[in-house]
Amino acid sequence: MPEQALYDVFVIGGGINGCGIARDAVGRGYKVALAEAKDFASGTSSAATKLIHGGLRYLEYYEFRLVREALMEREVLWAMAPHIIWPMRFVLPFHKGGIRPAWLIRLGLFLYDHLGGRKLLPATRTLDMRRDPAGKPLKPLFTKAFEYSDGWVDDARMVVLNARDAEQRGATILPRSKVIGARREKDFWEVEVLDTASGVRSSHRARMLVNAAGPWVDTVLSQAFGKNQVHNVRLVQGSHIVVRKKFDDPRAYFFQNPDNRIIFAIPYENDFTLIGTTDQDYKGDARDVKITPQEIDYLCNAASEYFAEPVRPEDIVWSYSGVRPLFDDGASAAQEATRDYVLKLEGEGTGAVLLNIFGGKLTTYRRLAEHALEKIEQVLGAKGRPWTAKSNLPGGDFGVHGYENEVEALKKAHPYLETVHARRLVRLYGSEWRPMLEGRTSAADLGQHFGSDVYAFEIDWLMTREWARTAEDVLWRRTKRGLYLGSAEAAALDEYMAHHAP
């Protein structure tokens, strides 16, 4: 077993929280490694509703700390990565005798607008749905609505871009590497890692471990650390369905349901509408989570209460499910469990300390990482100062209003690309379209064609820069081209990737 160098911080888990902490820590000067058991964002971080939001609903549960922190993060994250994060307006229809009185919603939105951090995002306004185009796809009962601001994120890309940036700053990033053991030596940890692709085991040393395994945080504590009776997180399943687009408007909808829950209907990947989510306690391994027939009915029925044309199970073209790793605060209903995060140090005073991460939202990952760094500093001593608020993720260095200019620049440099293709490339890769397309002067230079607008040049980039190894990594995480490619095309892509792995 080859022995490795001594890291300051070894992070377990390549979801948004693990990758965010690794990036912040290496940027401050710590020696960092991160191990992800499968692919980046293969857990909860690719299964979200994908909102960069304060969480309007959490106001009802008095989660003011969380909502304020999340609201403040919206514009910070947008500026960090304007290719994968952008503002979205949400239409919240209501009618007399509805689920919540209009004054209560208005009060919530007033707080939402004023709790902090909103400099560029427009404020709430009231819509007359008989005139506004947002009223068109809905039942005529909904004559009024509020329209408010939040943001959208490509969740899986946000994860991999954090991992990439951490690597560029000097972190050791280990995909497909499962932590199977962690043993305290005198003043460091001995970490055992299994390369799940090759079966090779390796051993690493670190002064501090961060357990950011999301829904598996307790499993890691019991299996790798040998602890008994661990129960820190409550697993709450959430599922989404994707249907052909129900409306043309760029705005999303916020629908209230009679059970007091809410769902969103969001414009998705140009041609689709994303509808979700559900909230139900989950038992079992989070890897096996799958949408249930009851969830399908629930989402179809809830959306059909609002849309004039009903949403039927046979309309579903794709669905996905994830498990929220919520800190177990003893709440009785899944939807009431706190969405805030909790960080806990173990073994302070010994030479080998463990930091466990419980809970967290995509929206608050950067702040969670800053709080984790405060704990890391307590143990290892301070190095650099907080730095991520003013940073850019790879490809995100073109400013919050720069997207259209980037598209124009790309089209000028590569006029042989279709406009929709150019727009997609800037959305996913931002300014990195330049190195990605360097030296290509015609469609023939794009390489093998796999269907839709997927060509080998993009796959090669994803394999060499973003650790993609399978068609699934590419079609459902690095991109969402799985919505456009069939199974034979995906198989051809898998074959290409198996033969061209770097």
Which residues form the interface with ligand FAD (CB under 6 A)? 12-18, 35-38, 42-45, 47-51, 53, 178-179, 212-216, 220, 224, 238, 277, 322-325, 360-363
Contact 44, 212 (CB under 8 A): no
The residue whose two tokens read 């990758």 is 19
Say if CB 395 and CB 430 are below 8 A apart.
yes
- Residue placing its CB nearer to ligand FAD in the complex, 44 or 124: 44
Radius of gyration of the chain (CA): 23
C-alpha to C-alpha distance for 22 and 384, rounded to whole angstroms? 14
Decide: 233 and 33 in contact? Cβ < 8 Å: no
Residue 368 burial (CB count, 10 A)? 24
Q: Which is nearer to ligand FAD, 73 or 489 (CB)?
A: 73
Nearer to ligand FAD, 238 or 267 (CB): 238
Question: For residues 51 and 417, which CB has a smaller minimum distance to ligand FAD in the complex?
Answer: 51
Name the minimum Å distance from CB 466 to ligand FAD. Answer: 15
* Strands 85-94 and 252-256, bridge-based pairing: parallel
Alpha carbon distance 272, 439 (integer Å): 34
State the residue number with the nearest CB to ligand FAD: 15
CB of 4 to ligand FAD, least distance (A): 16
Nearer to ligand FAD, 367 or 421 (CB): 367
Integer Cα distance of 289 and 321 in angstroms = 6
- Name the pairing type of β-strands 342-346 and 201-211: unpaired
Least distance (Å) from ligand FAD to the CB of residue 36?
A: 5
Pick the closest to residue 55 from 100, 12, 111 (CA basis).
111
DSSP state of 323: E
In the complex, least distance from residue 492 CB atom to ligand FAD, rounded to whole angstroms: 27
DSSP state of 101: -
Instruction: Answer yes or no: are the C-beta atoms of 82 and 399 closer than 8 Å.
Output: yes
Among candidate residues 143, 102, 138, the one with its CA nearest the CA of residue 252 = 138
Least distance from C-beta 227 to ligand FAD, angstroms?
14
Query: Which structure tokens are listed for 101?
Result: 């009185």
Considering the complex, state which of residue 81 and residue 323 has its C-beta at the smaller distance from ligand FAD: 323
What is the closest distance, in whole angstroms, from the C-beta atom of residue 137 to ligand FAD in the complex? 22
Residue with token string 């440099």 = 413
> Which is nearer to ligand FAD, 36 or 167 (by Cβ)?
36
Task: Closer to ligand FAD by CB, 38 or 434: give it.
Answer: 38
CB of 219 to ligand FAD, least distance (A): 6
- Closest contact distance (angstroms) between CB of 21 and ligand FAD is 9
